Structure 1
Amino acid sequence: MRVYRGRADTIDGDRAVSERLVERVAADREPAVRVWRPHRQVAFGRRDARAEGYDRARELADERGFPPVEREVGGRAVAYTGSTVAFARVTPVTDSRSGLQDRYDAAAADLLDALGSLGVDAREGEPPDSFCPGTHSVRADCGGRPRKLAGLAQRVRADAAVVAGVLVVRDHGAIASVLDPVYRALDVSFDPETVGSVARADGRADPDAVVDAVEGALVDEAAGDTSVQRVG
């Protein structure tokens, strides 16, 4: 298994790294993991791009200092502050119609293991009106109520599958503040109070420690030797 660490100098460069990772897995059939801290941005999903208020949503994100971008994986808008952690596990596939739920289940279990090692008692599921709403999410009790910490999405090609996600480490207030007007422009229900974080759940919220914990959980020790490639 290959592990990719770090990020490129720009948002576009960073996205190119992730795309090259997928192409490499498809070509050489060796799984790969990447866990990193993306540049500050709001990443919109494909459904957002079709919404009537999409252009206004992009403007609102940009006005608040979050450059708007579009991502390949489905789901609704997510915000990265620089401390937010993104992760992806890419595996070769021979049948794009099978294994979808198994890959989701494995990634969710690994993420829960990582959060447990950081002192967060998390579980699958999400509160109503969360950011990037979906059935593959992770929540934790923060300040007496359940709040969303992470969301998962999956993209499957004929030759490779990508299970990717976002984990809020801290800066939950900044994320809620930018997503609130963005979601209103997109006409998507959103409650800013549902945004949680590792810090809000009283876990170890050092972003580098979170990266290490998630990377360690996602790397499949049974896959054999692990090689590391530095990005940027």
Structure 2
Amino acid sequence: MEKAYALLRQEKWRVIDQSSLGPMFEALQSFAMDDTLCTAVGASQSDPTARSWVHHQTVVLGIQDTKLPFLSDALKVLEEEGFHYIVRNSGGLAVVLDEGVLNLSLVFPDSEKGIDINRGYDAMWLLVKDMFKDFNVDIEAKEISESYCPGSYDLSIGDQKFAGISQRRIRNGVAVQVYLCVNGSGSERARLIQRFYEVGLQNETSKFTFPTIKPEVMASLSELLGEELSIQDVMLRFLQSLKGFSGEFYGSTLQGEEYTMYETYYERVVDRNKKVLGV
């Protein structure tokens, strides 16, 4: 774990807070942001960067989700529930984002020519554990197979998942991303994705494996900790933990050439979504 701690102990952390931009801030913009930051940090043009973001009523699909036999019917389920949807540019399966879900990205330079993939996951797990260390709970990292987007670094308390971690690597930059279900109903979010798969499969066999979701295995931190938490509460915990590891951080927006990079990456993710979804 010491190597994971070393990733958190950066000399300086640059912080880009996009957690309160509201419903007009779209998920495709977020993926372009992290690709931009990966490139800038990987080229040593920027300090290691921590970014926070919230997207309203959005389901982020994985490429595999687009292979559902009845995809158009499944997408209608999301539309009828008032959700937008996009396809992410990294692995994984469908996840729910809304105003009660805080997303965090940690962007490091891959200066050692190959940061072990688990080391990045462990760093985010350690950060989340530190954020909630005042609660008498054990935050485990293990697969919750009946959750949506199950993976070996699902974060759970008492076998109920509240977060999932992913990674994105571009040009010597590594972005480790986590979604934290802060408040609201974890099982209601899971029911939406359960219905998405039921309608998308309609009992047909598929060469791809999709999770059989049990909504009760998912919950929000507010439900699990017995204390109503807001996005702002968790943002404060995030910043306090980050400062504890680094000693120095500063707020920022995109700078200089990053704006041009962002425009290029944004065009790419928009075009890619049009192709993948046939829009």
TM range (shorter): 0.7 to 0.9
Residues 112-131 of structure 1: matches in 2 within 5 Å?
112-117=129-134, 120-131=137-148
> In the alignment, is the contact (CA less than 8 A) between 2:55 and 2:97 conserved in 1?
yes
Q: Distance in 2 between matches of 1:217 and 1:53?
A: 44
SS in 1 for 2:52: strand
> Which structure has greater helix proportion?
2
The answer to whether 1:205 aligns with 2:229 is: yes
> Which structure has greater strand proportion?
1
SS in 2 for 1:200: helix
Gaps in structure 1 of 5+ consecutive residues: none
Assess, with a 3 A threshold, how the Cα gap between structure 1 residues 85 and 120 changes in structure 2: closer, same or farther: farther
Deviations 1:25-73 (A, max 9, x none): 2331521001222222000112222333433332211211110111122
Residues 63-212 of structure 1: matches in 2 within 5 Å?
63-94=80-111, 97-117=114-134, 120-141=137-158, 146-171=159-184, 172-184=186-198, 185=200, 187-201=210-224, 202-212=226-236
* Residue number in structure 2 paired with 1:18: 34
Deviations 1:155-208 (A, max 9, x none): 122310111011111222431231121132254311111111111111442221
Normalised TM-score (structure 2): 0.72
Gaps in structure 2 of 5+ consecutive residues: 1-12, 202-209, 255-279
Assess, with a 3 A threshold, how the Cα gap between structure 1 residues 189 and 33 changes in structure 2: closer, same or farther: same
Deviations 1:90-133 (A, max 9, x none): 11114664421111111111111213346654222243311110
Q: Which among 78, 84, 90 is matched to residue 61 of structure 1?
A: 78
Quote the sequence identity (%).
Answer: 23
Report the count of equivalent residues: 226
RMSD: 2.4
Structure showing greater radius of gyration is: 2
Normalised TM-score (structure 1): 0.85
Assess, with a 3 A threshold, how the Cα gap between structure 1 residues 23 and 56 changes in structure 2: closer, same or farther: farther
Q: Distance in 2 between matches of 1:157 and 1:23?
A: 6
Tell me which amino acid in the other structure corresponds to 1:189. Answer: T
Cα shift at 1:152: 0.5
Q: Distance in 2 between matches of 1:15 and 1:64?
A: 23
